[in-house]
Amino acid sequence: MVMNPKHAFWQALIFTIVVFLFGMLLGFVLERGRAQEIEINLANSELNLLDEQLRNQIIENLNLSCDLAIESTFGFADKIYGEALKLEKYDSASKFTNDLKIIHRRYDLLRTLLWVESIKLKDRCGDGFHTVVYFYEYETQDVGVRSQQIFFSRLLGDIKGGNPEEILLIPIAANLDLESVNIALENYDLTELPVVLIDEERIIDDIITLEDARNIVFDANN
Protein backbone atom coordinates (compact mmCIF):
# COMPACT_ATOMS: atom_id res chain seq x y z
CA MET A 1 0.00 0.00 0.00
CA VAL A 2 1.47 3.36 -1.07
CA MET A 3 1.05 6.22 1.44
CA ASN A 4 -0.44 9.43 0.12
CA PRO A 5 2.36 12.04 -0.07
CA LYS A 6 0.11 14.70 1.47
CA HIS A 7 -0.81 12.36 4.31
CA ALA A 8 2.87 11.61 4.95
CA PHE A 9 3.66 15.33 4.91
CA TRP A 10 1.01 16.14 7.51
CA GLN A 11 2.14 13.25 9.71
CA ALA A 12 5.71 14.52 9.61
CA LEU A 13 4.59 18.08 10.29
CA ILE A 14 2.46 17.08 13.27
CA PHE A 15 5.30 14.96 14.66
CA THR A 16 7.74 17.87 14.28
CA ILE A 17 5.34 20.26 16.03
CA VAL A 18 4.83 17.82 18.91
CA VAL A 19 8.59 17.35 19.35
CA PHE A 20 9.13 21.13 19.19
CA LEU A 21 6.43 21.84 21.79
CA PHE A 22 7.76 19.10 24.05
CA GLY A 23 11.24 20.57 23.77
CA MET A 24 9.93 24.03 24.65
CA LEU A 25 8.05 22.65 27.66
CA LEU A 26 11.10 20.73 28.86
CA GLY A 27 13.28 23.80 28.41
CA PHE A 28 10.80 25.92 30.38
CA VAL A 29 10.79 23.41 33.24
CA LEU A 30 14.59 23.27 33.31
CA GLU A 31 14.95 27.06 33.20
CA ARG A 32 12.41 27.45 36.00
CA GLY A 33 14.30 24.91 38.08
CA ARG A 34 17.60 26.72 37.49
CA ALA A 35 16.01 30.05 38.38
CA GLN A 36 14.69 28.64 41.66
CA GLU A 37 18.09 27.16 42.54
CA ILE A 38 19.80 30.47 41.83
CA GLU A 39 17.29 32.29 44.06
CA ILE A 40 18.13 29.82 46.83
CA ASN A 41 21.84 30.41 46.28
CA LEU A 42 21.28 34.17 46.48
CA ALA A 43 19.58 33.74 49.85
CA ASN A 44 22.29 31.35 51.06
CA SER A 45 25.03 33.78 50.07
CA GLU A 46 23.38 36.51 52.15
CA LEU A 47 23.08 34.20 55.15
CA ASN A 48 26.67 33.02 54.79
CA LEU A 49 27.91 36.61 54.69
CA LEU A 50 26.06 37.42 57.92
CA ASP A 51 27.19 34.13 59.47
CA GLU A 52 30.84 34.87 58.72
CA GLN A 53 30.61 38.35 60.23
CA LEU A 54 29.02 36.97 63.40
CA ARG A 55 31.42 34.02 63.53
CA ASN A 56 34.37 36.39 63.32
CA GLN A 57 33.01 38.50 66.19
CA ILE A 58 32.43 35.39 68.32
CA ILE A 59 36.00 34.20 67.76
CA GLU A 60 37.38 37.59 68.80
CA ASN A 61 35.00 38.47 71.63
CA LEU A 62 34.92 35.05 73.30
CA ASN A 63 38.66 34.57 72.83
CA LEU A 64 38.25 31.02 71.53
CA SER A 65 41.16 28.61 71.75
CA CYS A 66 43.45 28.54 68.74
CA ASP A 67 42.54 24.96 67.87
CA LEU A 68 38.81 25.70 67.89
CA ALA A 69 39.20 28.97 65.99
CA ILE A 70 41.36 27.36 63.27
CA GLU A 71 39.01 24.38 62.99
CA SER A 72 36.05 26.73 62.57
CA THR A 73 37.88 28.78 59.95
CA PHE A 74 38.82 25.73 57.88
CA GLY A 75 35.32 24.29 58.18
CA PHE A 76 33.68 27.49 57.02
CA ALA A 77 36.17 27.87 54.16
CA ASP A 78 35.41 24.36 52.93
CA LYS A 79 31.68 25.00 53.20
CA ILE A 80 31.58 28.12 51.07
CA TYR A 81 34.09 26.66 48.61
CA GLY A 82 31.79 23.69 48.04
CA GLU A 83 28.76 25.95 47.60
CA ALA A 84 30.60 28.19 45.14
CA LEU A 85 31.60 25.16 43.06
CA LYS A 86 27.92 24.37 42.54
CA LEU A 87 27.47 27.72 40.81
CA GLU A 88 29.89 26.85 38.03
CA LYS A 89 27.30 24.74 36.21
CA TYR A 90 25.18 27.88 35.73
CA ASP A 91 27.97 30.15 34.48
CA SER A 92 27.21 29.33 30.84
CA ALA A 93 23.52 30.29 31.15
CA SER A 94 23.54 33.90 29.94
CA LYS A 95 19.98 34.47 31.17
CA PHE A 96 21.23 34.41 34.77
CA THR A 97 24.49 36.32 34.25
CA ASN A 98 23.59 39.27 36.52
CA ASP A 99 22.31 37.09 39.36
CA LEU A 100 25.35 34.83 39.12
CA LYS A 101 27.71 37.77 39.25
CA ILE A 102 26.00 39.04 42.41
CA ILE A 103 26.37 35.62 44.02
CA HIS A 104 30.01 35.37 43.00
CA ARG A 105 30.72 38.83 44.43
CA ARG A 106 29.17 37.84 47.75
CA TYR A 107 31.23 34.66 47.92
CA ASP A 108 34.36 36.64 47.06
CA LEU A 109 33.55 39.01 49.92
CA LEU A 110 33.15 36.00 52.19
CA ARG A 111 36.50 34.60 51.16
CA THR A 112 38.17 37.99 51.60
CA LEU A 113 36.76 38.15 55.13
CA LEU A 114 38.12 34.64 55.72
CA TRP A 115 41.52 35.73 54.51
CA VAL A 116 41.61 38.72 56.86
CA GLU A 117 40.47 36.47 59.71
CA SER A 118 43.19 33.93 58.91
CA ILE A 119 45.86 36.66 59.08
CA LYS A 120 44.62 37.63 62.55
CA LEU A 121 44.58 33.97 63.59
CA LYS A 122 48.19 33.45 62.54
CA ASP A 123 49.21 36.59 64.43
CA ARG A 124 47.52 35.26 67.58
CA CYS A 125 48.15 31.53 67.26
CA GLY A 126 51.35 31.24 65.25
CA ASP A 127 51.96 29.84 61.79
CA GLY A 128 50.15 26.53 62.19
CA PHE A 129 48.80 26.64 58.65
CA HIS A 130 49.45 28.29 55.30
CA THR A 131 47.12 30.69 53.53
CA VAL A 132 47.09 30.23 49.76
CA VAL A 133 45.08 33.03 48.16
CA TYR A 134 44.40 32.49 44.47
CA PHE A 135 43.39 35.63 42.58
CA TYR A 136 41.84 34.85 39.21
CA GLU A 137 39.85 36.53 36.45
CA TYR A 138 36.14 35.71 36.44
CA GLU A 139 34.68 34.78 33.03
CA THR A 140 37.84 35.67 31.15
CA GLN A 141 37.68 35.54 27.36
CA ASP A 142 41.47 35.35 27.00
CA VAL A 143 42.40 31.80 25.97
CA GLY A 144 45.89 32.07 27.45
CA VAL A 145 44.62 33.34 30.80
CA ARG A 146 41.91 30.70 30.87
CA SER A 147 44.45 27.92 30.26
CA GLN A 148 46.72 29.25 33.00
CA GLN A 149 43.79 29.44 35.42
CA ILE A 150 42.82 25.85 34.69
CA PHE A 151 46.42 24.85 35.42
CA PHE A 152 46.55 26.83 38.68
CA SER A 153 43.20 25.42 39.83
CA ARG A 154 44.41 21.86 39.36
CA LEU A 155 47.82 22.58 40.87
CA LEU A 156 46.38 24.20 44.00
CA GLY A 157 43.73 21.49 44.26
CA ASP A 158 46.48 18.86 44.34
CA ILE A 159 48.41 20.74 47.03
CA LYS A 160 45.28 21.25 49.13
CA GLY A 161 44.22 17.63 48.65
CA GLY A 162 47.59 16.38 49.88
CA ASN A 163 47.63 18.66 52.92
CA PRO A 164 44.00 19.47 53.79
CA GLU A 165 44.71 20.51 57.40
CA GLU A 166 47.71 22.68 56.57
CA ILE A 167 46.46 24.63 53.55
CA LEU A 168 43.72 27.25 53.70
CA LEU A 169 42.93 27.66 50.00
CA ILE A 170 41.05 30.88 49.23
CA PRO A 171 40.16 31.53 45.57
CA ILE A 172 39.03 35.11 44.89
CA ALA A 173 37.84 36.62 41.61
CA ALA A 174 39.81 39.84 41.28
CA ASN A 175 37.85 41.53 38.50
CA LEU A 176 34.39 41.95 40.05
CA ASP A 177 34.88 45.55 41.20
CA LEU A 178 35.16 44.83 44.92
CA GLU A 179 37.04 47.65 46.63
CA SER A 180 38.34 45.40 49.41
CA VAL A 181 39.89 43.06 46.84
CA ASN A 182 41.30 45.98 44.84
CA ILE A 183 42.98 47.37 47.97
CA ALA A 184 44.52 43.97 48.73
CA LEU A 185 45.87 43.65 45.19
CA GLU A 186 47.38 47.11 45.39
CA ASN A 187 48.85 46.50 48.83
CA TYR A 188 50.71 43.39 47.65
CA ASP A 189 51.55 44.95 44.27
CA LEU A 190 49.68 42.27 42.32
CA THR A 191 49.01 43.63 38.85
CA GLU A 192 48.67 40.52 36.67
CA LEU A 193 46.10 37.72 36.84
CA PRO A 194 46.06 34.90 37.68
CA VAL A 195 48.40 35.03 40.66
CA VAL A 196 48.80 33.06 43.89
CA LEU A 197 49.77 34.79 47.14
CA ILE A 198 51.18 32.49 49.83
CA ASP A 199 51.25 33.55 53.48
CA GLU A 200 51.15 37.20 52.36
CA GLU A 201 54.81 36.83 51.33
CA ARG A 202 55.48 34.56 48.38
CA ILE A 203 53.99 34.70 44.88
CA ILE A 204 53.39 32.17 42.12
CA ASP A 205 52.51 33.77 38.81
CA ASP A 206 53.91 31.32 36.26
CA ILE A 207 53.60 27.68 35.24
CA ILE A 208 55.70 25.54 37.59
CA THR A 209 55.83 21.92 38.66
CA LEU A 210 53.85 20.52 41.58
CA GLU A 211 57.08 19.87 43.48
CA ASP A 212 58.26 23.45 43.01
CA ALA A 213 54.87 24.77 44.11
CA ARG A 214 54.95 22.62 47.26
CA ASN A 215 58.42 23.92 48.08
CA ILE A 216 57.27 27.52 47.71
CA VAL A 217 54.21 26.93 49.90
CA PHE A 218 55.94 25.09 52.72
CA ASP A 219 59.08 27.23 52.66
CA ALA A 220 57.10 30.46 52.74
CA ASN A 221 57.90 31.17 56.38
CA ASN A 222 61.54 30.17 56.23
Q: Look at residue 220 in the predicted model and tell me its pLDDT.
A: 47
- Measured in whole angstroms, how far is the alpha carbon of residue 49 from the centre of its chain? 15
Distance CA 54, CA 222 (A): 34
Full pLDDT tens readout for the chain, 222 residues? 445 565 665 666 676 776 666 666 655 555 555 556 666 666 666 677 677 777 777 777 777 788 888 888 888 888 877 777 776 666 555 455 666 777 788 888 888 988 998 998 898 888 789 999 999 998 888 999 999 999 999 999 999 999 888 999 999 999 999 999 999 999 999 999 999 999 999 999 999 999 999 999 987 444
Burial of residue 178, with CB atoms counted within 10 A of its CB: 0-12 exposed, 13-18 middle, 19 or more buried:
middle
pLDDT for 82: 76
- Which residues touch 121 (CB under 8 Å, ≥6 apart)? 66, 69, 70, 73
> Distance between CA atoms of 119 and 115, rounded to whole angstroms?
6
What beta strand segments (E) does the chain contain?
130-136, 167-173, 195-198, 202-204
Q: Packing angle between helix 5-61 and helix 97-125, nearest 10 degrees?
A: 30
- Multiple choice CATH, 127-222, 2.40.33.10, 3.40.50.150, 3.40.50.300, 3.40.30.10: 3.40.30.10
pLDDT of residue 60: 74
- Strand spans (E) along 51-143: 130-136
Closest CA to 211 of 161, 170, 159, 150: 159
The domain limits of the chain are 1-126, 127-222
What pLDDT is recorded for position 212? 93
pLDDT for the residue numbered 75:
86
Considering the entire predicted model, what is its pTM? 0.76
